[in-house]
Structure 1
Amino acid sequence: MIKKDVVTSRWGNKEIVTSPSYGVIKSIFIPSKTRIYEWEPLISIQTDEGKEMQISVGANGVIESFAVKVGDRVIPGSVLAYINEDKLVSGNH
């Protein structure tokens, strides 16, 4: 399994998580409306090369929603999830 840390894009008070590659959503590790901590695994993608890529993000907050579900096809830049960032300082769990 490839572990991939993804940098989010900020929009207002939300962090937007996008796909780094072509592939299919294999797993979603954390349900919507759940707190996520920096670099915690979020989603896995089965890449077109047949490798599983585990996506983590450098943001703390609550997952507002996912824009994908298991089995969805994604391309680089596809929105995967929206995170409501909170004021926790990075590394303080």
Structure 2
Amino acid sequence: MTSPYHGIIKEIVIKENSKIDEGEPLFIIQTLTGENKAIKVGIRGSVQSIEVQIGDEVIPGMVLTYVKDESFIIE
């Protein structure tokens, strides 16, 4: 998952190896205009790794986390 904004990581809501659901907020980014934006995921899956820390500056397209997509598990 990549950042859609230029700003600063204010909060990391998820933890590595945790399960996430579609629409769940993962990060809070404070944009250059001072707005706090929740970054949500569009898939269900598990967090493989978190690539940023609180206070890191991010730009659009920068990788925030790697998520294993588990939306279409066939049993």
Q: TM-score, normalised by structure 1?
A: 0.74
Structure 1 residue runs without a partner (length 5+):
1-16
Aligned-partner residue type, residue 70 of structure 1:
I
Structure 1 residue ranges, 4+ long, deviating more than 6 angstroms after superposition: none
**Residues 32-82 of structure 1, C-alpha deviations (whole Å, 9 max, x = no match):** 100000010100001010010001011111000111011100001010000
1:82 aligns with 2:70: no
Residue number in structure 1 paired with 2:48: 64
- TM-superposed deviation, 1:87: 4.2
Higher strand share: 1
Structure 1 CA distance, aligned partners of 2:26 and 2:16? 11
Residue number in structure 2 paired with 1:40: 24
Structure 2 CA distance, aligned partners of 1:40 and 1:87? 14
Task: Provide the identity percentage.
Answer: 44
Structure 2 residue runs without a partner (length 5+):
none
Residue number in structure 2 paired with 1:50: 34
Question: RMSD in angstroms over aligned alpha carbons?
Answer: 1.2
Structure 2 CA distance, aligned partners of 1:78 and 1:49? 19
- TM-superposed deviation, 1:25: 0.3
Residue number in structure 1 paired with 2:5: 21
Q: TM-score, normalised by structure 2?
A: 0.91
Does the aligned pair in 1 maintain the 2:43–2:71 contact within 8 Å?
Answer: no
Structure 1 CA distance, aligned partners of 2:48 and 2:42? 16
Residue number in structure 1 paired with 2:15: 31
